[in-house]
Amino acid sequence: MFVNQVATVQDIIPSLVVPLAFPLLLFSLNLKRWLRYAKKRFLSVVLALISGIVMVTIGFFIWKDSIPESWKLAGMFEGIYTGGTPNFVAIKMALNVDPSLFVILSTYDMIVGAFLVLFFITIAPKIFRFILPPFDKTKGITGDEEEIAKQTENLEDYSGMFKKGVFLPLLGALGISVTIFILAGSLGLLLYKIPLMVVVILTITTLGLLASLVKRINQIEKTFQLGMYLILVFSLTVASMANLRSMFGIGMWNLILFITWCYFGSLILHIILAKIFRIDADNFLITSAAFIFSPPFVPLVANALKNKDVIVTGITGGIIGYILGNYFGVALAYFLKGF
């Protein structure tokens, strides 16, 4: 009886926390501002998007017969490459991916990602600056961009969430997220011919973006951090559901090869396109870092480049990735399902 009760809680938590977390992650985004900056560095962001879609799709066709439910895998990795861990988690929910597969994917993703992080902050700047044109130092950052860079460096700062002036507005933001979840669930029940979680995830993404346009919601402090905390709760719960015996029987090497292909293949295609379109080395590297690792890693890579002027380019790419990740991931998965 106790085991059944635990299993019930394990099933309920993931279904609740992700739909509540994703709107919170989006509330603090200033969509108009990011789109304005995206215009300045639009080409580098577009090339990164194209690289991810192409290489994930090719990887699907290479390994589709050796990896179970490879179309779901492709959708999840398009989501994590375009956006980041929150998109990876959301698409897992939308596509109803097995918990054991999710945990093993996360583990392999961390292993491959660790090598990439090390590469990006050590020898990558020298290699890419040798291949691509140099950064134009005359195009420095403005005061507004500098303020954005400082704000982004605090994305992983969870302190102060329980202060009186922060906690109550944060509860209000959570209430708005609950309302969005209810609306998304209601729409999912109406569109019963479409899988429920697909409707829910895409609807909460859209409504979360619309809510971020409301100034009073957008200015609530620590909404991003609360959303990421819920993502951590989800990850812990799903990890507790994994079957260790089955985890290491899911085509381990094929999964590692697929993940490595997605990351390094996308990076190689991106640098080829950057060379063709004459994207400078620093903007190329910071955009790649934003898409592969998400915005919190951007200052780390910018520090390795010794160039803070590209921080906003990376942040812009990462934020656009957060916005598009769920749409691209789900769309690619269902497109590839027919093959």
Return the H-helix or E-strand segment holding 198: helix 196-212
What is the average pLDDT across 7-31?
78
What is the average pLDDT across 46-58?
92
What is the average pLDDT across 213-229?
89
Domain boundaries, the chain: 24-132+143-337
Structure tokens at 250: 């899911």
Q: What are phi and psi of 136, to 5 degrees?
A: -85, 105
DSSP-derived letter for residue 83 is: T
Let me know: does 224 contact 177? Beta carbons within 8 Å.
Answer: no
d(CA 182, CA 20): 10
pLDDT for the residue 139:
57
Please write the tens of the pLDDT for every residue from 298-327. Answer: 777 888 888 877 777 777 778 788 888 999
Q: Does residue 183 carry a pLDDT above 70? A: yes
The structure's pTM equals 0.81
What is the average pLDDT across 182-209?
90
What is the average pLDDT across 154-169?
82
